[in-house]
Amino acid sequence: MTMVENLEWYRTFYFTARAGSFSKAGEMLHITQPAVTHSIKQLETRLGGQLFHRTPKGVTLTAEGEALLAYVEQAYHLIAAGERKISDMHDLLTGTIRIGAGDTLCKHYLLPALQAFHADYPGIRIQVVNRTTPETIEMLKDGTIDVGIVNLPVEDRLLHVEEGGRLQDCFVAGPAYAHIAEQALPWERLSEYPLMMLERGSRSREFVDGFASARGCRLQPDIELGSVDLLIEFAKRGFGMACVIRQFVERQLKSGELFEIRLNEPLPSRGIGIVTLRSVPLSAAARKLVGMLPRG
């Protein structure tokens, strides 16, 4: 495979062909006329033929020079188009952001920021995939996504992790359980009622199971679902007590559609993580979106 030896020679050739003069090309390139002459001679030697006819009024292209110019001109325009593309990306006029997030975090945390971002930068293409926290982290590491929105804690030296806010897990139930919500319930008594939780494998489920296990309780839900939104709907319809995120059911708690089942030891809050790869710089668009995500 033939390699281009010196791109600067071709740049000098292009400007000389456009200017029709070594001296004018030097002015355009901010180099001396001897430097232009030297570059052209180097290129002619490399290609094995004369590219310009020297005349008292300047230079004109030979047949070989005309043939070469057709390709160099295309390359120059492609490079200029590439520079414009990069400029548009920096100005957030074009580009793509790839994001991974679980269903609940996507709807309640990510989506509002995405909506505002899309309104401000409609030329940026947004790709979102729904995955669990472990799956999102793996996609980030293999380059499938640029940014992950996950449940904390996450400890990985390859990742940059920033906390985007706190989540408070709690148990809720419909009006049929309102009398139980009047006083704090010991953890061991949860097993007396139908429980509904996220499926095993999610970071949220592991967190709640671990907290219960440390208190000598093994939670055995009657219903396991793939999203918090479904758990909320099942709880509203009286199927039992659902483990959900309090921030996402505030409206239902205020309206009386749901009641929080207070526990004698409340679950501690946990964080929302904004994760990126340490070794890979974010695009201008991804940096802007990450900056728009809520904190605290």
**What is the pLDDT at residue 92?**
83
**What is the pLDDT at residue 4?**
65
Does the pLDDT value for residue 83 go beyond 90?
no
CA distance 229 to 225: 9
Q: Convert the pLDDT of each residue in 196-234 to its tens digit.
A: 999 998 888 999 999 999 999 999 999 999 889 999 999
Q: Which residues lie across from 82 on neighbouring strands?
A: none
CA distance 53 to 61: 6
What's the chain's average pLDDT?
A: 92
User: Nearest 5 degrees, angle CA 21-CA 27-CA 33?
Assistant: 60
Q: Convert the pLDDT of each residue in 27-80 to its tens digit.
A: 999 999 999 999 999 999 999 999 999 988 889 999 999 999 999 999 888 888
Q: Convert the pLDDT of each residue in 46-57 to its tens digit.
A: 999 999 999 888
Residue bearing tokens 């200017």: 19
Q: Convert the pLDDT of each residue in 115-167 to its tens digit.
A: 999 999 999 999 999 998 999 999 999 999 999 999 998 999 999 999 999 99
Report whether CATH 3.30.70.2500 matches the domain 169-268.
no
**CATH architecture assigned to 7-90:** Orthogonal Bundle (1.10)
Same fold, 95-165+275-292 and 169-268: yes
**What is the pLDDT at residue 5?**
72
Q: Work out whether strand 259-261 and strand 169-173 pair parallel, antiparallel, or are unpaired.
A: antiparallel
Q: Where do the structural domains in the chain lie, given as residue ranges?
A: 7-90, 95-165+275-292, 169-268
CA distance 149 to 106: 8
**What is the pLDDT at residue 1?**
38
Domain 95-165+275-292: CATH class, spelled out: alpha beta
pTM score: 0.69
User: Taking the CA atoms of the chain, what radius of gyration do you get in angstroms?
Assistant: 32
DSSP H helices in the chain: 7-19, 22-29, 33-47, 63-90, 103-105, 111-120, 133-141, 203-213, 228-236, 250-255, 284-292
Q: Helices 33-47 & 7-19, crossing angle to 10 degrees?
A: 110
Does the pLDDT value for residue 109 go beyond 50?
yes
DSSP code at position 181: G
CA distance 248 to 173: 14
CB 59 within 8 A of CB 53: yes
CA distance 106 to 182: 33
- Reported as half-sphere exposure (CB side, CA atoms, 13 A), residue 7 has a value of 4
CA distance 184 to 186: 7
